[in-house]
Amino acid sequence: MKLTWLGHSAFRIDLDGAIILIDPFLSGNPKFTGSVEQVSEGATHIILTHGHDDHIGDAAAISKSTGAQIVANFEICMFLLDQGAASINPGNTGGSIDCGAFDVSFTPAAHSSGAVFNGQSVYLGNPNGMVIKPKAGPKVYHMGDTDIFSDMALIQELHRPDIGLIPVGDRFTMSGTTAALAAKRFFDFGAVVPCHYGTFDLLKSDPSEFVAAMAGSRPRILVPAIGEALDF
């Protein structure tokens, strides 16, 4: 499996039989300097954690151009279908979906979800984390945007993710210190990748607080550059 950080909370996962984009906030991302067409080439699925613009991003346009199926809650799927998405596969908190080469399970997240469209606020359901479970390969838990919450212990018990993609930028999500507490107290990750930092001035500029707070813990702490791929 190859995992590529695309900046903010956006990732690409290359699996045998599937290419997944998660929260593809690309064309409006001030730190993303690549080509949307290049990073979305061959995409089969787009997984969305919640409805904020910095997570939905280019999802509808990528789905329209590649045929990629959008996997998200019902409200987001219907919202993007109206914007021309080629294919949707809705679920919701507590459910799992068989996507062929992988399953995906919807977990809770402590955040909010919605968008402004044509000058109107649009309700887009509850936020989620997503556990991606390849038929062959490590399980990846993208926490979405969230605070720490004690039921993370149940996510570990039910899904046993191997890799954690963890927001650390503070203000809208956990701080680095809180994110490290969540990772160490509730999970048995083999590797963790911090995200949702440095994109805007309102966020922490780097993940150093998280890295320092994780010192001496079991997981490998991986801090890729934007566009850098990690092999698992």
Q: What is the dihedral of CA 42, 38, 131, 189, to 10 degrees?
A: 130
The average pLDDT across 3-23 equals 98
The average pLDDT across 116-137 equals 95
| Total Cβ atoms within 10 A of residue 116 | 10
Nearest to 213 by CA among 153, 159, 170, 172: 170
Render pLDDT for 65-102 as a digit per residue (tens, 0 to 9). 999 999 999 999 999 999 999 999 999 999 999 999 99
**Which pLDDT value is given to residue 54?**
98
Residue type, 110: A
- Write the CB contacts of 80 (distance below 8 Å, at least 6 apart in sequence): 56, 59, 60, 63, 70, 72, 88
Separation of alpha carbons 47 and 20, rounded Å: 7
**Which pLDDT value is given to residue 118?**
86
The average pLDDT across 175-198 equals 98
Render pLDDT for 158-179 as a digit per residue (tens, 0 to 9). 999 999 999 999 999 999 999 9
Contact yes or no for 48/21 (Cβ under 8 A): no
The average pLDDT across 140-167 equals 98
The average pLDDT across 150-161 equals 98
pLDDT band (50, 70, 90) for residue 117: confident
Domains of the chain: 2-223 (3.60.15.10)
Judge residue 187's burial from the number of C-beta atoms within 10 Å of its C-beta, 0-12 exposed, 13-18 middle, 19 or more buried: buried
The average pLDDT across 131-159 equals 98
Render pLDDT for 26-52 as a digit per residue (tens, 0 to 9). 999 999 989 999 999 999 999 999 999
pLDDT band (50, 70, 90) for residue 144: very high
